[in-house]
Every structure is written in structure tokens, then in C-alpha cells.
Amino acid sequence: MIHPSAIVSDAAQIGAHVEIGPFCIVEPGVTIGDGTRLVAQVTIKSGVILGSENIICEGAVIGGLPQHTRAPEKIGGVRIGNRNTIREHVTIHRAMHEGHDTIIGDDCLIMVAAHIAHDGSIGNRVILTNGVMLGGHVQVGDRAVLGGNAAVHQFCRIGRLAMVGGCTKVVQDLPPFVLTDGGTALIVGLNRVGLQRAGLSRSEILELKAAYRVIYREGLTFNEMVETLEQRFTQGVAAEFAEFFRSGSRGFIQERRSPPKVALRIHSAVDDLEADVPATTPFRKAA
């Protein structure tokens, strides 16, 4: 069903049972999958492929040109999966180069006024809360959650099942399974609530806690830390830590620390024990 006020190009491919509401614009070269709904005043620009059963709300613009001073004449596209909800005034930009795409997975919730820049890669079941800003080439793993107005620098990675606190400034990679504090933009423990909601077992969470202590509590150098993770956690979810650290190039967000000799109540996302956490120099991956 296409509203009479909508402008839909004859060169767009529209699936079955698609609803295109008032004042929407669908440009040539767009593909819209079955059962997708454009609520009103939505703009879908050339180069966008939308999967099935997506809901795109008022004022969203999907497929805008990359915001770059040297964008080439021929640019890439946007590829969006199935069953996503994209709320009001979200903007998602096309990839910088022909043959590449900005990618959104399945079952994501992208809330009001979030922005996904060119060449971003968003996994499945990701939640971007109001006002989240992702720079170019940012990667967000499955089931990650980014709080309101969080800003992620270009080329950074957010690991799967990570939780980014509201207003966090992310300028380095954030490992999987952890939680950041919006006030300090530092890690405060494991994302226990997210892990439980994702169905991880108690034994898997205990393994993640053990790996977390290797990373942040044993005072190892970066290379020693990664080697220890590879030796102790050869399979399962905890093995993802070493793989993530090995593939990084921007450095990694550190854990929030207390002054020397001060007893720290570890965040409940880690465990419920008291621990003395010495202040150590944060590790940084060697160039």
C-alpha cells in the first residue's frame, strides 16, 4: 500500500505487503523487502537494500551521502537486514566506496536521532539509544547496547554483549561482555544483566569473570595478558577476549581504578566480593 502523497520511483523494487506512508520518498535503485513499513516522511535513497518486516519511522533518512570532504563520485550502499525498528530522525549513510556497504543486521532497535556513519557494521539485536553517534567504519557486535548520546570515534569496535553507558565518549576499542560507566567512560565490570538476558549459563559467566581478572587484575603486560588468555581459555565465550585483543589496533578502554591501597567495592556486574585493587599502569597494545 502506497499513500497518494508518497513519491516512489518506478526503478525501485518493492516487495509484497509493503506499506509506504504519507510524504515518503523512495529513490531509484532501492530494494524494500516484504512486509516492511515506512511510517511517514521517510526518505530511502538510492543504493539502499532493506530486508523484510522492518519499521522505519518519521523523518528517518536512510542512504545519505558519506559526510567526508573527499568522498568519491561512485560510492557504496546501505544493506539492512530483517525485523529492525528504526525510529524517528535516524540517519544512516552509504559506504565510501563502490562495492562496499554500511551494514545493519537483524532485530536491531535504533532509537530517535541516532546516526550511523559510512562503512559502519552493526550486528544482530543491537540497541542504539537516543542520540547515539557512530563515526565511520565503527563496528558494533551482536547484542551490544549503547546508552543515550554515546559517541564512538571512527574505526573503533564495540564487542558483542557490551554495554556502553549514556554519554560515554568511546575513542578506543571496547572488549566484549563488559560495561562502561558513562561518567568516566571506563569499564566497571562485566555486563552481567546483558549476559543473563542473552542466556549465558552460570559456568560461562564464571569463565568470563576469571578471564576478566586476567585482563584487569593480574598486572600483566599486554602481550602477557593475551598469551595467558589463549592458554587458559581455549574455547567457549571467554576465548573471544583473546581474539578481540589480537585484532585491535586503536588500543583498548581501561578499567576504572581506585587510588592505591583503597578497598574497592567491585561493581555487581563483576561479583559481590570486596577486593583491594592496586593502581597499575593501564596496558596499551604496542604499535
* Res. 262: pLDDT tops 50: no
DSSP 8-state assignment for residue 110: E
Q: Which of 101, 106, 119, 142 is catalytic?
A: 119
pLDDT tens for each residue of 141-183:
999 999 999 999 999 999 999 999 999 999 999 999 999 999 8
Q: Which of 81, 118, 159, 189 is catalytic?
A: 118
Per-residue CA distances from 64 to 92, 164, 201, 204 (Å): 7, 26, 42, 41
CB neighbours (10 Å) of residue 71?
Answer: 15
pLDDT tens for each residue of 199-218:
999 999 999 999 999 999 99
- 119 labelled catalytic: yes
pTM of the model: 0.88
Q: Which of 47, 77, 131, 136 is catalytic?
A: 136
Match domain 7-195 to its CATH number in 2.60.120.20, 3.30.413.10, 3.30.1360.120, 2.160.10.10: 2.160.10.10
- 118 labelled catalytic: yes
Query: Domain map of the chain by residue range?
Result: 7-195, 200-276
Q: List the end-to-end C-alpha distance of the chain, in Å, as a whole number.
A: 55
pLDDT tens for each residue of 178-198:
999 998 999 999 999 999 999
* Res. 275: pLDDT tops 70: no
71 confidence band (pLDDT: 50, 70, 90): confident
Give dist(CA 159, CA 68) in Å, integer.
26
Q: Same CATH topology for 7-195 and 200-276?
A: no
Match domain 200-276 to its CATH number in 1.20.1180, 1.10.3470, 3.30.70, 2.60.120: 1.20.1180
257 confidence band (pLDDT: 50, 70, 90): confident
